[in-house]
Structure 1
């Protein structure tokens, strides 16, 4: 196998690595693109493509069958070998801290989907979509999990792209306004907790209280909310109810978010999204191909229903 690995460092081997990425999720018993189509896509000659395909067959990554005028068909493939030969390595995802069962289910679902596809996967946990995106831009992680709401904002500001949207209630269940019992939110000088490290919550709370110049802003994280409300240091905030449940005392009531715009923002905030760097085309393609979104959401739902133990 060492001799074969050395051959993958040649020009033909480089083409074989690129082909491995393209073939990783090619459906079995379907016709492969023509050699000249591969050559055009890879920017090399037909002979190089033919040699690369032979290398992949000799490595046990694929088995093909020539069927005359019908073309060449992919009979068998080993996704684990294809992934290794592609040189992509272990995909590292940055996710929010797993403080809710929903996040645990999401991490478990992502791991399950990548394992099913034969892609090595690891996860690191970081608080704040901005911090996770900075790690992505610095090349420390390969992908970031965040809300679709935050993803849209960051895509507009940075060279990152959306590679998956898992749909409503995959990131958080709902948001609501938390108000200290007996407090009128129209009261001048209302003390509102805000977490600037969270792109989602900052935008939501600013939208809910837009136009209020009398607000006294209080910087706070979800871990501080219980004490801040209990000690009477804050009057209100907008928060992820997955986090708030069980952490906020009896003296706090949950109120629905108001206008249609805020509800639409909260809906986008509830959807989990995955982003990658724009210049990481091979990674983005591999992630799109590897992620079976229905499998991710099914596993997440099983964790939420306590039918599966979290594993990430």
Structure 2
């Protein structure tokens, strides 16, 4: 039966299956004429392709007279196979916290629910992840909402396809201080900054606005040791990093601008290359509730992370 996919109708079915992946159950599908116009195919070829998809069990349609045909059942895994779409590869932050382990687990769960296998890679720095996304080394990148918006300004042609709730990326950021007697960043302090992280960079700059401080360029993963060895006096850091929370004195932000910005840094988003319509369709099918449920279970210790 699958050999039929190499026929003229079968090749048309590959393109039509991509279109149908993005249509919700119960919704009207494009007309035969619509498919003819968008794909440059003849009516007979389009009609044969749709019949083929039905025969292979990929879809089930219901004709409603002049209202058109409606999608009442679809097998996502079969549609993906027919479309020739391979496993997606995404890139996200290093899973050094329960929050990130839970997010990775949730992403895998969400795609498993679609009968779709994916792979995840891990890379430090949202700017680095968006940079490689543009080279098509990866199909999608997970970054904060703030980093996504900054990246879209810098790299034309990127889109946010999926957004999650506040607290899905990080619980919050805090100011970490080497001296436990201090209550805030003060003039003369050495403050660590990682410019590959739009979140950490922007919050740090706002919190230090108007203060005569020395910004010390560092790798985000070096901040802990630099604070511990008193080579810097302060740093903005993810509060989900248990090791740092237990070791250092933390305080809230003094800057109202910084406080406001932290809301955008706490929300996870999935970013893709806007020109890759097949990837966008697959990501759009991801169930946000499944992802967040798995993340919260991992954070609560109610299940082991699996990613």
Asked if the contact 2:102/2:295 (under 8 Å) is kept, the reply is yes
SS class of match (2:243):
coil
Deviation, structure 1 residue 25:
5.0
The alignment status of 1:294 with 2:289, answered yes or no, reads yes
Asked if the contact 1:226/1:248 (under 8 Å) is kept, the reply is no
Aligned length: 305
Match of 1:133 in 2: 130
Which of 88, 102, 117 is equivalent to 1:91?
A: 88
Residues in 2 aligned to 1:89 and 1:32: alpha-carbon distance in whole angstroms: 24
Asked if the contact 2:21/2:281 (under 8 Å) is kept, the reply is no
Match of 2:269 in 1: 273
Change (3 A) 1:230 1:26: closer
The alignment status of 1:122 with 2:145, answered yes or no, reads no
Match of 2:206 in 1: 207
Match of 1:166 in 2: 164
Residues in 2 aligned to 1:189 and 1:29: alpha-carbon distance in whole angstroms: 63
Match of 1:178 in 2: 176
Asked if the contact 2:186/2:213 (under 8 Å) is kept, the reply is no
Which of 248, 270, 283 is equivalent to 2:279?
A: 283
Deviation, structure 1 residue 67:
5.4
Match of 2:217 in 1: 219
Deviation, structure 1 residue 121:
1.5
Residues in 2 aligned to 1:77 and 1:284: alpha-carbon distance in whole angstroms: 18
Match of 1:240 in 2: 238
SS class of match (1:32):
coil
Asked if the contact 1:230/1:249 (under 8 Å) is kept, the reply is no
Q: What is the root-mean-square deviation of aligned Cα atoms in Å? A: 2.2
Residues in 2 aligned to 1:278 and 1:65: alpha-carbon distance in whole angstroms: 32
Alignment deviations for residues 8-32 of structure 1 (CA, whole Å, 9 cap, x no partner):
xx4x333211211222254445553
Asked if the contact 1:170/1:270 (under 8 Å) is kept, the reply is yes
Asked if the contact 1:163/1:276 (under 8 Å) is kept, the reply is yes
Residues in 2 aligned to 1:188 and 1:254: alpha-carbon distance in whole angstroms: 18
TM-score by length of 1: 0.89
Match of 1:3 in 2: 3
Residues in 2 aligned to 1:67 and 1:233: alpha-carbon distance in whole angstroms: 72
Residues in 1 aligned to 2:79 and 2:6: alpha-carbon distance in whole angstroms: 16
Which of 56, 59, 62 is equivalent to 1:59?
A: 56
Give unmatched runs, 5+ long, in structure 1.
Answer: none
Match of 1:198 in 2: 197
Deviation, structure 1 residue 122:
1.3
Change (3 A) 1:32 1:188: closer
Deviation, structure 1 residue 242:
0.8
**Runs of 4 or more above 6 Å deviation:** none
Give unmatched runs, 5+ long, in structure 2.
Answer: none
Change (3 A) 1:37 1:186: closer
